Every structure is written in C-alpha cells, then in structure tokens.
Amino acid sequence: MNWGSAGEFFAMGGYGLYVWGSYIACALLMVLEPILTARRHARARQDAARLNEES
C-alpha cells in the first residue's frame, strides 16, 4: 500500500480508529498482564506462607 502522507497512513483508509485502537489495547494488555500476574503470584505465596505457619 502507498500513502501520500503521514496523515493518510494514520487514517488507514478510514479505519485508523479501529486499527490503532486495537494496537493500543493489545499493548496495554501486554503491559498489564505480567504486572497483574506478579501480584497474584505474590498474594498466593503470602497465603501459602500464612497457611504453613498455622499448621
């Protein structure tokens, strides 16, 4: 595909909102997933340590 300007590239033939919105959503999820996973892992380790102390 050939675009005449940067504006045409970002407009993506009228579908730019959907295309760039999808890229942004994907990037956001790729950043959030490891953070949330680490938090859940830390919480699980704390719960396991607490259960180990009680027994």
pLDDT, residue 46, reads 97
pLDDT digits (tens, 9 = 90+) for 1-55: 677 899 998 899 899 999 999 999 999 999 999 999 999 999 999 999 999 998 7
In this structure, the chain runs to a length of 55
> Which residues, in sequence order, are CB contacts of 20 under 8 Å at separation 6+?
10, 12
pLDDT, residue 54, reads 84
pLDDT, residue 2, reads 79
